[in-house]
């Protein structure tokens, strides 16, 4: 399986560890899984994953530090993940990341880990807080 669409599964509270065994998975859509509270560590073993949509996962309060293991990840959408306060430092390891959507992440205070993403072509951080841009980064 290379594509798994679980979008809109708002009744799911926990993602199963067996998802990490889908070694050929390239596209994972979890958008609208509004009750999911955590991304299990085994999911970060999906080394071929290129697309991860976590938008509107409203109960998600953090990303695992192992997210940096997703070396092929090119697209990460975390829009409306309103409880996430900060990005893990390992995010800087995602050297193939082209698109990062952090729009409507109301609790996010700074984006320090984004500075190391040299291949990033699109960063969406809307609405911006009313402070100087350097304080966001």
Which pLDDT score is estimated for 114? 79
**In this predicted structure, what is the pLDDT of residue 133?**
41
- Establish how many alpha carbons lie within 13 A of residue 71's alpha carbon, considering only the half-sphere containing its beta carbon: 3
Q: What is the pLDDT of residue 128?
A: 58
Of 126 and 70, the one with more pLDDT: 70
- Lowest-pLDDT range of 22-36, 54-68, 98-112: 98-112
pLDDT at residue 113, as a whole number: 66
Domains and CATH numbers, the chain: 3-130 (3.80.10.10)
Under 8 Å between Cβ of 43 and 67: no
Tokens describing residue 130: 């009313």
């Amino acid at each position: 399986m290379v594509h798994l669409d679980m979008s809109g599964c708002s009744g799911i509270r926990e993602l199963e560890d067996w998802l990490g065994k889908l070694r050929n998975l390239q596209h994972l859509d979890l958008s609208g899984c509004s009750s999911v509270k955590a991304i299990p560590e085994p999911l970060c073993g999906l080394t071929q994953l290129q697309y991860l949509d976590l938008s509107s996962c409203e109960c998600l309060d953090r990303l695992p530090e192992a997210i940096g293991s997703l070396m092929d990840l090119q697209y990460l959408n975390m829009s409306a993940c309103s409880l996430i306060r900060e990005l893990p430092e390992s995010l800087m390891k995602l050297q193939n990341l082209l698109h990062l959507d952090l729009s409507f992440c109301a609790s996010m205070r700074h984006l320090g880990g984004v500075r190391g993403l040299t291949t990033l072509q699109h960063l969406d951080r809307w609405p911006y807080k009313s402070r100087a841009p350097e304080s966001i980064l």
